[in-house]
Amino acid sequence: MGEILGREGFCIRPILGLPKSRGIIMLKLTNVHNHPYIDPQLLLHPDVKALVKGIKVALEVGNTSAFINNFGAEFYDKPLPGCTAEMYGSDCYWVCYVRHMSTTFYHLTGGCKMTTASDSYGVVDHTLRVREAGGLRVVDASITPFITNVNTNAPIIMIAEKGSDMAKQKWKRAAVSWHQLTYLSFPHGFVYLSSGHPHCNIYSDCQINPEDAHDRCVDFNL
């Protein structure tokens, strides 16, 4: 590496925007304080092949007259330590290179995916509510059923905007004004409310402390 230190250079970096490899997340124990088992299972076979193809395209681009004649470009072709057993430039060499040199983009997604009810691996529904766990939404990168092409940040901001809109909408619908309510007093000072409001009409849905609440309705079912 010493011979190229301080010299001008460029690099072409093939990126796998839509990897086919799928990782796994498994619970090790039923104790929630235990970390799960996570194996990203990176670089399963088709992905390696795609990256090798990308390297070949990069080599072709670097070998065009535009790069060679205009910039005097030449590849740094010292064999990678660890891959010297393979013939330099062969497919096996590039497979070895990919397995040694690849990095992740940290675009972790899909651990908590949104799917239809028939998918036993689905976790949240189309409104991001966790199935069979009323009152809980997941709003982050994990809900995407598959990875978006390349960068994840912008799509996740979109998911967050949509998720917050849905939650606000739900609360707005659930808000019950005083005049709609029938009060049932209990000795501990809280009032459980029953109202004609379509989204807030059973006792367990609504709990309001009359001291500080006016239009507040806690909707446990989100």
Ligand X SMILES: Cc1cc2nc3c(=O)[nH]c(=O)nc-3n(C[C@H](O)[C@H](O)[C@H](O)COP(=O)(O)OP(=O)(O)OC[C@H]3O[C@@H](n4cnc5c(N)ncnc54)[C@H](O)[C@@H]3O)c2cc1C
Pick one of 7, 39, 106, 211: the residue that binds ligand X (CB under 6 A).
106
Q: Is residue 182 a contact partner of residue 208, using CB atoms and an 8 Å limit?
A: no
β partners of residue 86: none
Question: Whose Cβ is closer to ligand X: residue 40's or residue 210's?
Answer: 40
Pick one of 86, 91, 125, 140: the residue that binds ligand X (CB under 6 A).
140
CA distance 73 to 64: 9
Question: For this structure, is 107 an active site residue?
Answer: yes
Q: Which stretch binds ligand X (CB under 6 A): 11-19, 146-154, 163-171, 213-221?
A: 146-154
Question: Whose Cβ is closer to ligand X: residue 22's or residue 53's?
Answer: 22
C-beta of 151: minimal distance to ligand X in Å?
3
CA distance 152 to 109: 8
Pick one of 141, 176, 193, 200: the residue that binds ligand X (CB under 6 A).
141
End-to-end CA gap in the chain = 58
Beta strands in the chain (DSSP E): 24-26, 37-39, 181-185, 191-195, 207-208
C-beta of 141: minimal distance to ligand X in Å?
3
Catalytically active residues, by annotation: 107
